[in-house]
Structure 1
Amino acid sequence: MAAYTPMINQYLKIKAEYQDAFLFFRLGDFYEMFFEDAIKASQELEITLTARDGGTEEKIPMCGVPYHSAQTYIERLIEKGYKVAICEQTEDPKQAKGVVRREVVQLITPGTIMEGRSLNEKENNYLATITNFADGTYGFAYTDLSTGENKVTLLSSNDEEVLNELSVLGAKEAVISTSLDENLQKRMQERNILTISHEEETDIKDEFHSLTIGLNQEKLIVTVSRLLNYLFRSQKRSLDHLQPFSTYQVHQFMKLDYYSKRNLELTETIRSKGKKGSLLWLLDETKTAMGGRLLKQWIDRPRIDVDEIERRLSLTENFIAAYFERKELQELLKEVYDLERLAGRVAYGNVNARDLKQLMRSLQQIPHLQNIIGRIPGHDAGTLASKLDPCEEISDLLEQAIVDNPPISVKEGNMIRDGYNEQLDKYRDASRNGKTWIAQLEKEEREKTGIKSLKVGYNRVFGYYIEVTKSNLHLLTEGQYDRKQTLANAERFITPELKEKEALILEAEEKGGELEYELFCEIREIVKEQIPRLQALAKTVSEIDVLQSFAEVSEARKYVRPQFSSTREITIKDGRHPVVEKVLDAQEYVPNNCIMSPEREMLLITGPNMSGKSTYMRQVTLTAILAQIGCFVPAAEAILPIFDQVFTRIGAADDLVSGQSTFMVEMLEAKNAIANATQDSLILFDEIGRGTSTYDGMALAQAIIEFIHNRIGAKTLFSTHYHELTILEEELDKLHNVHVSAIEHNGRVVFLHKIKEGPADKSYGIHVAMLAGLPKELTDRAQEILTSLEQAEPVKQLPVLPDGKETVVQESGPSKKSDSAQLSFFDEPIVQRRTDVSPKEKKVVDKLKDLDILNLTPLEAMNVLYELQKKVRN
């Protein structure tokens, strides 16, 4: 470092403390980056890479962004998962004896960003932390710095549970110890946790006391302290808006693992990763950003507490009945800004006068909201109304103090109303009157001298002056003005009286600006003291917004209030898939029933592809989720149990990141369900086993069905193309066959999308291929092969001539020689039918003849086949 200039040495010293972040190093009106930071930033931000002399022979790579537009560049880096350390000058350059002192004043990361486009208004921006303990358990805590929300829990030693919590939250950043298991860290990044930060400090500091006051376990306090140490070290500013940490247990909610949340498309679609087409998209009629965030939280964590679910359902019902009041509410809610994030910005110190004005206008809507909700019948609605705190003191203060249209900057004045502060009024009066005096002086001097072009001007170097063009200088008398400055075509003058007024005006403007900023800071501090009230108000407004959204969707789409059964009964009459129904819009959706009971625990669903098996399975699950978040459901009638967990295996998708095939993903998801499901869970398995060979897949599918039926007893919907499995209805007393009906018409399949009792009679696979537009020649050949297989006849080989040689077609009967080799199940191809059969071989043939194939399970059939093959080979 000694070879570099003092400024570059300073940069390198600071950079050494922030190796994993871009260091925005303030130089004048620019933030500069050097060395590797400059090379990488120029690529990521698409800005010019230059170089500068740093004291060595080789120039140093450098790039920079203007100070006034740095926010845009910072946001672009944050969106890519990077961190940015803001290094400011903390010393007046005029007073510096050497290099101006600089310090990092804030570390901006994906989990700590407080404003900008990276912050989706209807999504929380969570920062999580994980702490592993000696007994194998994990402490898990998270915060949304923009809203102040804080939660903490203890998780089992199961890594999957940790990953699931991260996935449910959609955490943007995770704070961990460097000693955390490397495999877990790798899997976290596979789950799209792009930014991982490290914090080793877990000591409890005095300033954390108010945030940990409700925690009574050392593990929880240690976990929370890691997170808080990271926040206070990186943010270097007031975090008074952070709420005390509250504990939660994962078993307090319906457990939806990562796979289920993805497969059911609860908050984003599998294909586009966007909101449109998801359950969240369907339900989101919220009018506030706070309500949008709460809605997503409720979908991510459906309740299992019947009392809370019924309370939400009753309020939804009340809002549906109160149509006119609901419409009034919606209009008022549109005028309520994001109280949670406004409170966060107040505490953070980056709130401006416009933000405070938004806060005032929001608070002014609360009495009206209170009045409207008070008119809605029902005890629960009255309770909600009583929780609305208008915070009159804050809105009155802001009404009196802040002008109607304040500027964005808080240091340029013109924020505070006239009459709010006596001293500020005096400064303003002096400034305004002084300027009026100067305008009058200009008029008088023009009349006195007869110079119509004479003007009184101002600049920051010379202050106020009288300017006369050179062509008019002869009109001035000797000594009339004191000469100040000579220009090419004019002279500038001053007078003692003008200098006196100038001093008065400039002093008034300077002191007035300083006083105005002081007054703004005082107002901000007063508001800051009321942050807990604002946060409590925000929660109530958010809940009202979500419930009116439920009511709006439920009424528009003719949903019904679900009932809950303690006998584990499912009775869904004319159920619909909520999202598919909305997408189809004007087209008529075919509703279906789902009837399950303690005697009917499993439904084995057969039917052709594209007929609606997966849609049916999803709609049953989404109905249960809607019910447990407190919303009405898409059905004519719905009686449901409370499900503690939902497990799904729907769709085929390779996990390329971790190198897992479709079949491996299937087996992992199946294992997760089998290992964790209880009798109160809901399991969806869609065509399990299709990722491997037919016999393997069929054997696994049957074994899984038997295990769930005999060992777990969970409500299960199992769709399959293995029609051989339908015979299980005779062996498993709680399994019942249902199928999606279809008919053939003029050689084409027509899907009726209707669930009926019993197994499907055909798979219609070739018909589906025809619908997909495969060539007729190909589908005709497939039909020929299918007919041959069904009649157990040898299949004719098609005359394929890739090399121009004639290929002999093998007819049924004794084999003829052919140039083209065919694959065989045996070690060598059978080229001739034998007529001489040994006694041993006859025993094998007799054994085959005596087999009752239809009553064999797939696994038994494979074992018999293996034994027969061994005998033949021997």
Structure 2
Amino acid sequence: RPALAGAPWRLAEADAALDEVPELRDHILAAIAEDAPANPADGGVIRRGYSAELDELRHLATHSRQIIAAIEARERQRTGIASLKVRFNNVFGFYIEISKANLHLAPPDYERKQTLVNAERFTTPELKELEAKVLDAEERALDLERTILATLRAEAAAAAPRVRATAAAVAEIDFYCALAETAVARRYVRPRFSETGEMKIVAGRHPVIEKLAEAEAGHFIPNDLYLDRGSHRMALITGPNMGGKSTYLRQAALIAVMAQMGSFVPATEAVLTVIDRVFTRIGASDNLARGRSTFMVEMTETAVILNSATERSLIVLDEIGRGTATYDGLALAWAVLEYIHDRIGAYTLFATHYHELTELAGRLDGVVNLHVSVKESGDQLIFLRRVEPGSADRSYGIEVARLAALPAEVIERAREILALHEKKEETVSEELEAPKRRRPAGPELQIRLFEPVGWQIAERIRQLDIDNLRPVEALQLLAELKEELGRR
């Protein structure tokens, strides 16, 4: 406790709450043996020297032969009968046997119990008492231990509130010590808090992944993060799988939580703002028992975020919309981002593979693009795991699949299909404009990922005036569309 002298107020409060409960402590130390068995029924829990009665019973239970031999030697010396014997049987218990020739030497305090042909058997008050003690010494010792333990437990139960309060204080002090020790060992820095709403993390690190990387002789790549209440309120992070997007999201949330709970943080510099809650939607999961798919769970959790977050919250979203059709997912992700930007205004980190979403940085004044960088060296893909400004130019999904050892035939076919769809794909940003912008009249037409219908054909169909279209015109139009599809 002297180490806590002059400690900050919270540690001082914890120190003041420490109650050693000295009477209980001293009683336990005096009563319980150092090497007490785990099961009290085995005996030996009570320390030797604590109870004179218990010590005597233990001595009788373990040294009865030596005690009888000592009595026999003493009586031989006292009576002068060298052939005197102390024996035991189940009928008479302990007795002294003296031959007929030595009967005249028997002391008057001997009580005759049995007469034999060549000897007489006697007992004494000492032997009667010893018999009663020795025969049930072990069981009586266990009973006495149980009684002492029950008394000790009752005393501990009476002091339980004081013990619990001390345990809580010790736990709090241990918690602060663990944070301090980790901060020194892992080179953490003291965060500062900004009243302007600025969040600036320089060379931030994930506290767990960094430790795991070092254990495997690796090196964790630190990254910066900057958010504010103005033009950097939301960050869209793009890049390949395995590039480090999810780690970047998690470390930002962890640093925010660690700083606000009073810990130093894994970074070179950290300026943070006070947040009311951290909302996360990371990873894929389902709940088959309740009939909820991965996508349903994802949407339910997203709904909780949108209905609960405030402008002082930190929202961390990882690939919203990936559990459904491509354009459904893209539309939902786009709409969720617009809603957070326009209605909530929370600090947001959003990792995605929908590259169309990067156009929001040019449409919404609080959105910036970030990407996880990679390097291509021949046919090799090197993950640099550095988060840099701007959007990624591609997802490298096929390259990651190749690293996972998919058959070469599958990889080549995937490249062919990707090239085909990249050639035909048109931007859909006009269809995903914010509510304040133009909305096309009539029902929307969804174009699926592998649907061989061009965007121009879809537009032609969408603009048809079906009510005024004559049958001959309809047939002619179908023929034209069929011919155009044949050319694609």
TM-score tier by shorter-chain length is 0.7 to 0.9
Aligned-pair distance for 1:616? 0.7
| Change beyond 3 A, Cα 1:686–1:414 | closer
Which amino acid counterpart does residue 123 of structure 2 have in structure 1?
T
2:286 match: 654
Match of 2:218 among 574, 579, 587: 587
- The alignment status of 1:501 with 2:129, answered yes or no, reads yes
Match of 1:396 among 9, 18, 26: 26
1:339 match: none
Whole-angstrom CA distance in 2 between matches of 1:419 and 1:718: 67
Match of 2:307 among 675, 686, 690: 675
Whole-angstrom CA distance in 2 between matches of 1:695 and 1:513: 76
Match of 1:694 among 326, 341, 348: 326
What SS does the aligned partner of 1:736 have? Answer: strand
| Change beyond 3 A, Cα 1:781–1:549 | same
- The alignment status of 1:857 with 2:419, answered yes or no, reads no
Aligned-pair distance for 1:393? 2.6
Q: How high is the TM-score relative to the length of structure 1?
A: 0.44
User: 1:29-84 CA distances to partner (integer Å, 9 max, x unpaired)?
Assistant: xxxxxxxxxxxxxxxxxxxxxxxxxxxxxxxxxxxxxxxxxxxxxxxxxxxxxxxx
Which amino acid counterpart does residue 395 of structure 1 have in structure 2?
R
1:271-670 matches, cutoff 5 A: 370-374=1-5, 378=8, 380-402=10-32, 404-405=34-35, 408-409=39-40, 415=46, 418=49, 424=53, 438-443=68-73, 456-457=87-88, 464-465=93-94, 482=113, 495-497=123-125, 500-502=128-130, 505=133, 518=147, 520-585=149-214, 586-599=217-230, 600-670=232-302
Whole-angstrom CA distance in 2 between matches of 1:730 and 1:715: 18
Whole-angstrom CA distance in 2 between matches of 1:636 and 1:786: 42
Aligned-pair distance for 1:456? 3.3
1:289 match: none
| Change beyond 3 A, Cα 1:441–1:627 | same
Which amino acid counterpart does residue 370 of structure 2 have in structure 1?
V
Aligned-pair distance for 1:780? 2.4
Whole-angstrom CA distance in 2 between matches of 1:548 and 1:682: 28
| Change beyond 3 A, Cα 1:703–1:481 | same
Whole-angstrom CA distance in 1 between matches of 2:135 and 2:375: 91
Which amino acid counterpart does residue 784 of structure 1 have in structure 2?
E
Whole-angstrom CA distance in 1 between matches of 2:100 and 2:303: 102
Aligned-pair distance for 1:594? 0.7
| Change beyond 3 A, Cα 1:683–1:512 | closer
Q: Is the CA contact 2:221–2:385 (under 8 Å) kept in the aligned structure 1? A: yes
Which amino acid counterpart does residue 68 of structure 2 have in structure 1?
I
Whole-angstrom CA distance in 1 between matches of 2:142 and 2:183: 54
User: 1:736-793 CA distances to partner (integer Å, 9 max, x unpaired)?
Assistant: 1111112222133222211111111122222212222222233223223333333339
Mean Cα displacement is larger for which, 632-641 or 394-403? 394-403
Which amino acid counterpart does residue 188 of structure 2 have in structure 1?
Y
Whole-angstrom CA distance in 1 between matches of 2:375 and 2:141: 84
Aligned-pair distance for 1:642? 2.3
Which amino acid counterpart does residue 869 of structure 1 have in structure 2?
I
Q: How high is the TM-score relative to the length of structure 2?
A: 0.75
| Change beyond 3 A, Cα 1:628–1:754 | same
Aligned-pair distance for 1:637? 0.9
What SS does the aligned partner of 1:630 have? Answer: coil
Whole-angstrom CA distance in 2 between matches of 1:430 and 1:695: 86
Aligned-pair distance for 1:417? 5.8
Which amino acid counterpart does residue 409 of structure 1 have in structure 2?
P
Whole-angstrom CA distance in 1 between matches of 2:202 and 2:332: 32
| Change beyond 3 A, Cα 1:418–1:610 | closer
Q: Is the CA contact 1:416–1:516 (under 8 Å) kept in the aligned structure 2? A: no
- The alignment status of 1:759 with 2:368, answered yes or no, reads no
| Change beyond 3 A, Cα 1:463–1:863 | farther
What SS does the aligned partner of 2:394 have? Answer: coil
Whole-angstrom CA distance in 2 between matches of 1:444 and 1:714: 94
Count matched residues: 433
User: 1:143-187 CA distances to partner (integer Å, 9 max, x unpaired)?
Assistant: xxxxxxxxxxxxxxxxxxxxxxxxxxxxxxxxxxxxxxxxxxxxx
Which amino acid counterpart does residue 582 of structure 1 have in structure 2?
K
Whole-angstrom CA distance in 2 between matches of 1:512 and 1:791: 91
User: 1:305-354 CA distances to partner (integer Å, 9 max, x unpaired)?
Assistant: xxxxxxxxxxxxxxxxxxxxxxxxxxxxxxxxxxxxxxxxxxxxxxxxxx
Q: Is the CA contact 2:279–2:305 (under 8 Å) kept in the aligned structure 1? A: yes
2:412 match: 780
Aligned-pair distance for 1:868? 3.5
What SS does the aligned partner of 2:259 have? Answer: helix
Aligned-pair distance for 1:409? 2.9
Mean Cα displacement is larger for which, 857-866 or 692-701? 857-866
Whole-angstrom CA distance in 2 between matches of 1:764 and 1:517: 71
1:29-428 matches, cutoff 5 A: 370-374=1-5, 378=8, 380-402=10-32, 404-405=34-35, 408-409=39-40, 415=46, 418=49, 424=53
Q: Is the CA contact 2:11–2:173 (under 8 Å) kept in the aligned structure 1? A: no
Whole-angstrom CA distance in 2 between matches of 1:626 and 1:413: 47
Q: Is the CA contact 2:58–2:141 (under 8 Å) kept in the aligned structure 1? A: no
What SS does the aligned partner of 2:424 have? Answer: coil
Aligned-pair distance for 1:567? 2.8
Q: Is the CA contact 2:33–2:44 (under 8 Å) kept in the aligned structure 1? A: no
Q: Is the CA contact 2:88–2:94 (under 8 Å) kept in the aligned structure 1? A: yes
Whole-angstrom CA distance in 2 between matches of 1:563 and 1:520: 53
CA RMSD of aligned residues (A): 4.3
Aligned-pair distance for 1:674? 1.0
Report which structure shows greater RCO (CA 8 Å, sep ≥6). 2
| Change beyond 3 A, Cα 1:604–1:425 | closer
Whole-angstrom CA distance in 2 between matches of 1:434 and 1:737: 88
| Change beyond 3 A, Cα 1:714–1:416 | same
2:472 match: none
1:869 match: 461
Q: Is the CA contact 1:644–1:680 (under 8 Å) kept in the aligned structure 2? A: yes
Whole-angstrom CA distance in 1 between matches of 2:428 and 2:44: 89
| Change beyond 3 A, Cα 1:474–1:769 | farther
| Change beyond 3 A, Cα 1:606–1:428 | closer
Aligned-pair distance for 1:450? 6.9
Q: Is the CA contact 2:319–2:352 (under 8 Å) kept in the aligned structure 1? A: yes
Whole-angstrom CA distance in 2 between matches of 1:701 and 1:686: 10
Q: Is the CA contact 2:99–2:120 (under 8 Å) kept in the aligned structure 1? A: no
User: 1:649-676 CA distances to partner (integer Å, 9 max, x unpaired)?
Assistant: 2122232222222211211111111111
| Change beyond 3 A, Cα 1:533–1:729 | same
User: 1:715-747 CA distances to partner (integer Å, 9 max, x unpaired)?
Assistant: 111111111111111211111111111222213
What SS does the aligned partner of 1:465 have? Answer: strand
| Change beyond 3 A, Cα 1:467–1:738 | farther
Q: Is the CA contact 2:286–2:297 (under 8 Å) kept in the aligned structure 1? A: yes
Aligned-pair distance for 1:601? 1.4
